[in-house]
Structure formats: structure tokens, C-alpha cells
Chain A
Amino acid sequence: MDQLLNDFSPGLFFMQVIILIVLLVLLGKFAWKPILKSLDEREEGIQSALDQAEAAKKEMQNLQADNDRLLKEARAERDAMMKEAREIKDKIIADAKDEAKEEASKMIENAKATIKQEQQAAIAELKKKVADLSIGIAETVVKKELASQDEQLKLVEGMLEDVTLN
């Protein structure tokens, strides 16, 4: 301890105090302050850049999600439209078929009616012709009967041969 006290030099202590204060002031002003400030600024810069990157990533994800949603919606809409179109098409075809069927049946009916009418007309005419013919035959027969019986028969036979039922 005695040795230590003897070694202690007040002058050196004083010089050290001065040097340390000068160093603190000078380094503080010209080195530490700008260095620490730059370091802080740089770290803040890095932090904000990271934050920005994170935000951009989130934004991208949002956009991607939006895109996906839009795409899905568009796809659904397209599907709906196609379905609708198909339905319309089917309906049109079905309608057309029905109409055609109706038309056809109507035409057939008409035709049938016409045929029936014609048939009846034909039958009527036939009947009339048969009646006329019968009357004619009867007339002739009646006339020939007046001459001879044989003649009458020949006549009838001959006339019947001429007559062809048309």
C-alpha cells in the first residue's frame, strides 16, 4: 500500500484528467456523435426497408387473393352463362320440335279430312253414277223387255259387259 501511494503521481493524474476530458470532448464531437448517429440512421433505414418489403409482400398477397377471387368469379359467371345458353338452346329445340309436331299433326288431320271429304264425294258420285247407270239399264231393260225376253237378256248382258265400274 505504501508502495502504491508512493507510486501515485498527482501530476500524471492531473495530465490524465486533462487528456481524458479533451479526448471525451473531441471524440464525442467529431467521432462518437456522427458515428452513432450514422449507425442509428442506417439501422432505421434497414428497419424501414424491411418493413416496406413486408408491407409490399402483404400487398402482393392481397392482390393475388383479389386476382384469384376475380378469376373464380369470372369462371363462375362464364359457367352460369354457358349453362343458361345451353338451356335456351334446349328450350328452342324443344319448342321447335313441338311446333313442328303440332303442325305436322294438323297437316295430317287436314289431309285426313280432305281425303275423307274426297272419299265421300267420290262415293256420292259413284252412287249417283251407279244410280244413273241402273236407271239407264233399267230403262233399256224395260225397253227390250218389250220386244222379247231373249233380247232383253242379251241387252242386259251386253250392257253389263260395257259397264265397268270405275
Chain B
Amino acid sequence: MIAKKSIKCLAILAIVFSSLNVFAGGGGNSEKGGQINTPEDIKGYIKHHLADSHDFSLYSYTNEAGERKHVGFPLPVIVWTSKGLKTFMSSKFHHNDDGHVVVDAGDVKLAKIHSKIYELNEGVEHVAFDDHHHATNAHKVLDFSITKSVFGMLVAGLLMFLGFGSLAKGYKKGAIPTGVGRVLEPLVLYVRDEIARPNIGEKKYKRFMPYLLTVFFFIWILNLLGLTPIGFNVTGQIAVTICLALFTAVIYLTSGSKDFWAHTLWMPGVPVVLRPILAVIELVGFVLIKPFSLLVRLFANITAGHFVVMSLIALMIVLKKDFGPVASTGMSFVLATFIMVIEVLVAFLQAFIFTMLSALFIGMAVEEHEHDHAH
């Protein structure tokens, strides 16, 4: 029953992806026919991939007529401009990413530069740039678009909802799960028994299980989605990791026990002179350093992983001149496959570490010292 359902879901996903519309555009690379041959191009391409994007493009090619064709689908752009909320599809930008295409959204003009949407100043028709390629007559707007990352998060959320929803439903029929649940249940047990219980403690772990489970699977699924050729880089977006780390910080700071605050702000057992200094150090540690370490670790690992994989794939192009097409392709294939395998491990590891550290910090905050007088 559940297996049938999941097949249905997969079928729907397949239909969605196969009905991708091909939409043409005069992209930034059009002057070279979109080809990427030089190390500079590769660098730009990787940078472009690591950044968020406003449309979902799978690949692009140049047809016989010399036109650049992009395969994928546009995503909705939702921006808060000085004239209020504006929404339109990202196809209006025609894959332009350097501000040359100006979209007229009623009373404001918008341009996209390096995956960021800029609002042109009043009365300006084109974006002007200074020497560092910074726009001089436009400013960024608040961008609530369903970008590729947001889309990825929605996909991950949907997958989680379907998978764990079916697992939850499966328990109504019997204590032993069937279908997808058989795979998911050990993972849930793993998070509970290896992450939550030992770090938070038997008494209090239950309250934090929903958060830890959600974060663990959310990060893991997004990390894995990032390794597919669809090319999400959600957990490599600093905004995403900041948000996740902030959630953890808010949770452990709001659930801190009396003991935790007593130990943080007025550490017993040390000379009174040192106590304020310790309080500052502890506070900075809990409010800034620990969340920062969380967000940077996830962000840096995933970004670096994507960077390395793409660089190794790019070896194929870079080394073609020196080693010939076969050797360079073989080399890049072997190396990229090797790194890809490691990245699969890293995808799990980073989800595990983030959840683990979240649980550890929560555990520190909710801990109650039974031997108070000993300090």
C-alpha cells in the first residue's frame, strides 16, 4: 500500500521533471555561445552554481541557429520593493544575471545581478556599474522569491512529510513498519538513541526530539539533493545555515535551566573577581561562538564539497590541452567519483554533526546539577 503510494509520488515527480519547458534566453554567456573553456569561465560557473538561483535550470545548450537554450523551469519571483510587493515569473529575466535585462514590474524596474534582485533608482533605465562591478544606481530589495533553494527546501519538506507521514500511519496497522517506514524507522531510532538520549539525558530528551529529527532529516535530505545533478546547494547557502543555527541557539537559550544560567552568569566556585569575566566569556560562547561554529561548519563543508566536485569535473576541460581528451576525462572521472563517494559520507556526517552539536548544546543548557554544593 505504502510502496504503491511512494511509486505514485515518484511518478508525479517524474512527470513534473519531464514536462520541463525549454525557454530561450540571451544569457550572459551568449557572446561565447555559452561554452565554458577557460579557467575563468569555470570559476564563474562554479560561483554561479554555488549561489542561489531564481530559476530551476537543469542544463543549457546552443542549437544550430546559435541560440542558447535552457532546459528547466522558471520559479516565481516575489520581491518587496519601495512600491510594495511585486511578483512575476523568473523567466522574465531571460536567464540574464548581470543586470542587462530590466524587468518593468509596473511602477518599479528590477534587474538581476549575480542572483540578487536590484531595484533601479527612480527614472533610471539601465543599471550602471562602477569599476568593481557594483551597481551604482540600484539597490537590493527584500527577496522572498521561491528561489532554487526555497524550492529545494519545499521538495525536502514534502519528501519528509510523505515519508514520515507514511511511517506514522504505518504504526496504526501494526507495531512493525512496512515499506519506506522500514528504512526510516532505524534512522529515527538512531537520532533518538545515539544523538538525543546520550546528549540531553533520559529525562528531558523527549521535548527536543521533534526539532532534532526535523533538522537532521532536513539537512541530510538537502545535502543529498545537493549531490544529485539537479544541483541544489541549499545547505551551502549561508542564510539557510544561519537560520538553522539560530533555531538551535534560540531553543537552547530559552530552555536553559536555572543551574545553567547560574553557572553561566555567576559561576560558583571561582573567585568573585573572575566571575564577571567568566560570565562574559560564557555568554559570548553560548550566544555567538557556538551558533557561529554550527553555521560555518555546515556551510563551509557543503560549499567546499560542491566546489571540489565541480573543480574536479572541470579538470576534464582544463587538462584537455595537456593530456588529451581521454586521459583528462578519465582522470577527472576517477577523482570526481572518489570525492563524490566521500561527499555522500559528508552529507550524512554534517547532518549528524549539526544535530549532535545541537543536542549537546541543548543538553548543556537543560542539565541540572545534583551536586550543587560540591562546586
Q: Which residues of A contact B (CB under 8 A)?
A: 4, 7-17, 19-20, 22-24, 26-28, 30-36, 38-39, 41-42, 45
Contact = CB atoms under 8 A, between A and B. Distances in A.
A12 B150 contact: yes
Given A30-B168, A36-B192, A36-B209, A13 B214 contact: no
A19 B238 CA distance: 16
Nearest to A34: B168
A16 B143 CA distance: 12
B210 interface: yes
B171 A15 contact: no
A4 B206 CA distance: 36
A17 B185 CA distance: 27
B160 A27 contact: yes
A4 B210 CA distance: 30
B116 interface: yes
A38 B171 contact: yes
B147 interface: yes
B244 A20 contact: yes
B184 to A, nearest CB: 9
29 contacts: A4-B238, A7-B237, A9-B116, A11-B145, A15-B150, A16-B153, A16-B239, A16-B244, A20-B218, A20-B244, A20-B247, A22-B157, A24-B214, A26-B161, A27-B164, A27-B210, A27-B213, A30-B165, A31-B160, A31-B165, A31-B168, A32-B209, A32-B210, A32-B213, A32-B214, A34-B171, A38-B175, A39-B185, A41-B175
Given A7-B51, A7-B237, 19 more contacts: A7-B239, A8-B242, A11-B142, A12-B237, A12-B239, A13-B240, A13-B243, A15-B146, A16-B150, A16-B240, A16-B243, A17-B243, A22-B157, A23-B160, A28-B210, A28-B214, A30-B161, A33-B210, A41-B175
A42 B175 contact: yes
B214 A12 contact: no
B329 interface: no
B293 to A, nearest CB: 15
A27 B160 CA distance: 8
A38 B197 CA distance: 17
B220 to A, nearest CB: 14
A8 B211 contact: no
Contacts of B149: 12
Say what secondary structure dominates the interface of chain A. helix
A154 B127 CA distance: 207
B318 to A, nearest CB: 23
Contacts of B244: 16, 20
> Residue among B146, B154, B168, B209 with the most chain A CB within 10 A?
B168
A60 B150 CA distance: 63
B189 interface: yes
Given A11-B143, A16-B243, A35 B188 contact: yes
Contacts of A15: 144, 146-147, 150, 153
Given A13-B242, A14-B144, A28-B210, A35 B153 contact: no
Contacts of B55: none
Nearest to A32: B210
Interface in B199-224: 206, 209-211, 213-214, 218
> Residue among B51, B237, B239 with the most chain A CB within 10 A?
B239
Interface in B155-178: 157, 160-161, 164-165, 167-168, 171, 175
Contact of B206 (A23, A27, A35, A36): A36
B343 interface: no
| 5 smallest beta-carbon distances between A and B, as pairs | A38-B171, A11-B143, A31-B164, A28-B210, A13-B239
A14 B153 CA distance: 13
B119 interface: no
B238 A23 contact: no
A15 B150 CA distance: 7
A14 B145 CA distance: 10
